[in-house]
Structure 1
Amino acid sequence: MIDLRRSDGRIAVTEGLSAETKATRPIRKIALEEHYSTPELAKTYVARPTRSDTLFADIERRLADFDQLRLEAMDAAGIELSVLSVTTPGVQAVADTDLAIRLAREANDVLARQVQKRPHRYAGFAHLPTQDGVAAGAELERAVRELGFKGALINGQTAGHYLDADMYLPFWERVHDLDVPVYLHPGQLADQPAMFAGRPELDGPVWAWTADTVTHALRLVFAGTFKRFPRLKIILGHMGETLPHLLWRLDSRWEMELGEKLPRDDLPSTIIRRNIMITTSGVCDPNALVGAIAALGEDSVMFSVDYPYEDSTTAGAFIESAPISEIARAKVCHGNAEKILRL
Structure 2
Amino acid sequence: MKIALEEHVVFPAFLDYLAHAMPKVTPGVYADIVAQLSDFGERRLAAMDAAGVGRAVLSLSGPGVQIERDTAVALRGARLANDLLATEIQRRPDRYAGFAHLALQDPLGAADELERCVRELGFVGAMVNGHTLGVYLDDPRFAPFWERLEALDVPLYLHPDDSFVKPYVLEGCDELLKPTWEWTFETASHALRLVFAGVFDRYPRARLILGHMGETLPYVLWRLDSRAALTTGNRPLAAPPSHYLRSNVYVTTSGQCADVPLIAALSALGEDRVLFSIDYPYEDSATAARFIENAAIDETVRDKVCRRNAEALLRLPAG
Structure 1 residue 91 displacement after superposition = 0.9
Structure 1 residue 53 displacement after superposition = 2.7
Quote the residue 2:53 is aligned against. Answer: 79
* Corresponding letter in the other structure for 1:62: Q
Distance 1:48 1:213 in 2: 17
Structure 1 residue 286 displacement after superposition = 1.1
Is 1:45–1:91's contact at 8 Å kept on the other side of the alignment? Answer: no
Of 6, 9, 12, the residue aligned with 1:39 is: 12
Question: Do structure 1's residue 169 and structure 2's residue 143 form an aligned pair?
Answer: yes
Instruction: Give the TM-score normalised by the residue count of structure 2.
Output: 0.96
Deviations, residues 7-45 of structure 1 (Å, cap 9, x unaligned): xxxxxxxxxxxxxxxxxxxxx100000000110101333
Secondary structure at 1:112's aligned position in 2? helix
Is 1:132–1:167's contact at 8 Å kept on the other side of the alignment? Answer: no
Aligned positions of 1:54-93 closer than 5 A: 54-93=28-67
Structure 1 residue 251 displacement after superposition = 0.3
Distance 1:50 1:310 in 2: 16
Secondary structure at 1:299's aligned position in 2? coil
Aligned positions of 1:291-310 closer than 5 A: 291-310=264-283
Distance 2:133 2:197 in 1: 19
Quote the residue 1:255 is aligned against. Answer: 229
Quote the residue 1:24 is aligned against. Answer: none
Question: Do structure 1's residue 243 and structure 2's residue 212 form an aligned pair?
Answer: no
Quote the residue 2:251 is aligned against. Answer: 278
**Taking every aligned residue pair, what percent have the same amino acid on both sides?**
55
Quote the residue 1:216 is aligned against. Answer: 190
Is 1:45–1:93's contact at 8 Å kept on the other side of the alignment? Answer: no
How many aligned positions are there?
A: 313
Quote the residue 1:130 is aligned against. Answer: 104
Structure 1 residue 50 displacement after superposition = 3.8
Deviations, residues 255-306 of structure 1 (Å, cap 9, x unaligned): 12249xx99x610001110000000001101111011101111000000000
Structure 1 residue 58 displacement after superposition = 1.3
Alpha-carbon RMSD:
1.3
Distance 2:269 2:30 in 1: 34
Structure 1 residue 321 displacement after superposition = 0.2
Is 1:233–1:277's contact at 8 Å kept on the other side of the alignment? Answer: yes
Instruction: Give the TM-score normalised by the residue count of structure 1.
Output: 0.89
Question: Do structure 1's residue 269 and structure 2's residue 242 form an aligned pair?
Answer: yes
> Tell me, which stretches of 5 or more residues in structure 1 are unaligned?
1-27
Structure 1, 274-283 or 184-193: larger mean CA deviation? 184-193
Is 1:93–1:188's contact at 8 Å kept on the other side of the alignment? Answer: no
Question: Do structure 1's residue 118 and structure 2's residue 88 form an aligned pair?
Answer: no
Of 305, 315, 318, the residue aligned with 1:342 is: 315
Distance 1:69 1:39 in 2: 18
Distance 2:117 2:189 in 1: 28
Question: Do structure 1's residue 97 and structure 2's residue 80 form an aligned pair?
Answer: no
